[in-house]
Amino acid sequence: MLKLLAPLALLAALPAAAQTPAESKMATTITAETDRHVALLERLVNQNSGSLNIDGVTKVGQMVRAELEPLGFAVEWIEMKETGRAGHLVATHTGNGRGKRVLLIAHLDTVFEPESPFQTFVRSGDRATGPGIGDDKGGIVVIIAAMRAMQAAGTLKHADIKIVLTGDEERTGAPLAVARRDLIAAGKWADVALEYENLARDEGKDTGTIARRSSTNWTLRTTGKTGHSSGVFNATLGYGAAYELARILDEFRRTLLEPNLTFNVGVMAAGTPATLADNNYQMSAGGKTNIVAAEAVARGDLRALTPEQEAKTRAAMVAITAKNLPGTTASLDFQEGYPPMAPTDGNRALLAKLNAVNRDLKLPEMAEMDPARRGAADSAFVAADVDTLAGLGVAGGNAHAEGEWVDLKSIPLQALRSAAFITRLSREKRD
């Protein structure tokens, strides 16, 4: 047996008024099934589901279907052939139609493709490593554990819940409007959205995620007149593509910095010529020290906290790009990306309700996580339509890298939090 912080022990210290029979049953069930859920996590992790491994993502979806259908969920697999990715799993539980509709969001894919050497679940005590173990297969296990606990306690029966597990969160298919069509529709259906990526901890304390920044890629291209370097800066040749690229990027850095905003340069090249490969992340350049560069290209990302901040920054970047040095041209293109999940009063109210659960379970309250320390996620696609709380999955670290790990003790903890939280939300009257 795992030496875990049993949820039942958390409830044992509660006063009788706070320890409801349903919560006691949930805790008992989660405790009894902890080994089951760790074993499920191991099976999910050991099935490779890199975003481009369509067969692997589909198989993980089949594993999840087998967990949800016995709980009364109607499970649909939505193919995404037109986006070049695997499909999405949408599971719907129909309750009595009177309580709030709750949307649960996670994803089936990982960043680790079949050629990665990091492929296997490995456990050492209460810690386990594996590809996608926290991002986001641990989150899927928390959802399943919470649903099973609610069923055992009798609170699932009347709850209206929709679970959307995307198959391409780590490397989104295109067009984005198609790739996120079903998730956006689920957000319009829901009254509340909960997202199950990693639980964020700050100095060992669990925190709540009420906001996430956007993630949009951009491509900057410059051109210049080429010729002998002895003529650089003169009226005939001008400054060349390399100096124009440097001017623009440096002006971004000097003039656009503000809280919660970043605009990283991931890769760049300059020369005669300088080219960007079709895969959009490899570049090549040639040239000599005595030749003025004819072409330059850079790619990066833009992350903002609100739609207004992103729109303002895009406009400023375009204006900077247009102020060309003599003899040069420049163009800046933005690609489709993840919108921001802005901090709202509604999101803060959701965290307050979760903290009421924490108080009743004798758990520490969760402060807001700094959004500058969180990446983008699928919750952003529904946050404009519905109050959203993110980061309800397992605790761990080293996401997107070999050695990704989770704290196995966080599985029952997060499952109990979610079971109690979703139960309470599902009993609130719809507006």
Q: Dihedrals φ, ψ of 176, to 5°?
A: -65, -35
| DSSP calls for 173-212 | -SSHHHHTHHHHHHHHH-SEEEE-SPBPEETTEEEEB--B
Place of tokens 């303002």: 312
Neighbours of 329 (CB within 10 A): 14
Q: What is the pLDDT of residue 17?
A: 44
Rounded Cα–Cα distance for residues 95 and 156 (Å):
8
3-state DSSP: the chain helix, strand, coil percent, rounded to 5?
35, 25, 40
Q: What is the pTM of this model?
A: 0.90
pLDDT at position 19, please? Answer: 67
Per-residue pLDDT of the chain (431 residues; tens, 9 = 90+): 444 445 544 444 444 445 689 999 999 999 999 999 999 999 999 999 999 999 999 999 999 999 999 999 999 999 999 999 999 999 999 999 999 999 999 999 999 999 999 999 999 999 999 999 999 999 999 999 999 999 999 999 999 999 999 999 999 999 999 999 999 999 999 999 999 999 999 989 999 999 999 999 999 999 999 999 999 999 999 999 999 999 999 999 999 999 999 999 999 999 999 999 998 889 999 999 999 999 999 999 999 999 999 999 999 999 999 999 999 999 999 998 999 999 999 999 999 999 999 999 988 999 999 998 888 999 999 999 999 999 999 999 999 999 999 999 999 999 999 999 999 999 999 97
Q: Could you check whether the bond before residue 206 is cis, i.e. omega within 30 degrees of 0?
A: no
> How many C-beta atoms surround the C-beta of residue 199 within 10 A?
28
Contact by Cβ (8 Å): 144, 67: yes
Do 408 and 128 form a contact (C-beta atoms < 8 A)?
yes
Domains of the chain as residue ranges with CATH: 7-213+340-427 (3.40.630.10), 216-334 (3.30.70.360)
> Phi-psi category of 332—alpha, beta or left, where left has phi over 0 and alpha has psi -120 to 50?
beta
- Give the per-residue pLDDT at 20: 86
C-alpha to C-alpha distance for 248 and 317, rounded to whole angstroms: 8
